Amino acid sequence: MNASIGQGDTAVTPLQMAMVYATVANGGTLYEPRLVKGRISADGSQVEEIPPIVADEITGARAQRAIGFLQDTLPGVTTDGSGRGPFAGFPLDQIPVASKTGSAQVTGDKVSTSWFASYAPANDPQYAVVMMVTQGGTGAKTSGPSVRKIYEALFGVKGGNVDPSRSVLVDGEPSRDLPVVREDGTPVVPLDEDSGLPESREDTGNVSARGGDG
């Protein structure tokens, strides 16, 4: 019974839990985690992209029903369950968040370990975000508010409004391209209006910047 609710001898890292939620979000494909997207030589002449590696596929009717159940119910945790508090006022109608809070007990610790696992948008998943704070108490009170801040930064949320131009990501989404490196080894970097960087990324001769032309 303890194992079924994540207590007892159950042990998992935040990275492993993020992999679980990403797998639920995409419908059953488990990818190996990776830190490197590619390799570029110092002068930018040689490029080697490292493709994603599929570690496993969750198949079978019963497994797919379980994944479908989680996809249907996890967004309700954020709107009507234990994740409602930290996401009060968040524009869930525009960016639904699938989530689950956790308060895991550890032998010898007086205060539980705080967990908040999630992915968003729930209807078109792009990101899985998991936070864990040792001896942090409940997931809703400790980890949940910080997870919300991460989503606000990713999607450009301020108050109840969503503005992709406010995202910490250029153009509001992760770049799918490897960085451009000059022959002298210096990278061409994106320019944010308040970044202080000297130049913007150049695409086909045009100079663009998040939040406006630069």
Domain count for the chain, please give it.
Answer: 2
8 and 86 together in one domain = yes
Integer Rg of the chain from CA: 20
Contact 12, 47 (CB under 8 A): no
- Nearest CA to 171 out of 192, 151, 198 is that of 192
The sign one gets for the Cα dihedral 128, 27, 32, 52 is: negative
Instruction: Return all residues near 58 (Cβ < 8 A) that are at least 6 apart.
Output: 23, 28, 29, 30, 64, 67
Three-state SS at 132: strand
What is the percent of the chain where pLDDT is above 90? 59
97 and 160 together in one domain = yes
pLDDT tens digits for range 66-114: 999 999 999 999 999 999 999 999 999 999 999 999 988 887 888 999 9
The interaxial angle of helices 61-80 and 14-26, nearest 10 deg, is 110
What is the pLDDT confidence band of residue 177, given thresholds at 50, 70 and 90?
A: confident
208 and 133 together in one domain = no
202 and 139 together in one domain = no
pLDDT at 153 exceeding the cut of 90 = yes
The reply to whether 171 falls in a domain is: no
86 and 188 together in one domain = no
93 and 71 together in one domain = yes
The reply to whether 173 falls in a domain is: no
127 and 32 together in one domain = yes
Of the three residues 145, 166, 187, the one that is the final residue of a domain is 166
Contact 76, 98 (CB under 8 A): no
Contact 32, 50 (CB under 8 A): no
For residue 202, give its domain range: 179-214
Instruction: Return all residues near 201 (Cβ < 8 A) that are at least 6 apart.
Output: 170, 180, 188, 189, 190, 191, 207, 208
The reply to whether 174 falls in a domain is: no
Strand partners, 48: 39
CATH of the domain at 19: 3.40.710.10
208 and 119 together in one domain = no
The reply to whether 172 falls in a domain is: no
143 and 184 together in one domain = no
What is the percent of the chain where pLDDT is above 70? 86
54 and 142 together in one domain = yes
211 and 155 together in one domain = no
The reply to whether 62 falls in a domain is: yes
71 and 142 together in one domain = yes
Residue with the larger pLDDT of the pair 79 and 210: 79
Amino acid at 179: P
Angstrom distance (rounded) from CA 141 to CA 82: 10
**CA dist 210 to 95, 151, 164, 169, 199, Å?**
21, 18, 9, 8, 12
The reply to whether 142 falls in a domain is: yes
Angstrom distance (rounded) from CA 172 to CA 208: 13
Three-state SS at 206: strand
The reply to whether 37 falls in a domain is: yes
- Nearest CA to 32 out of 8, 11, 51, 9 is that of 51
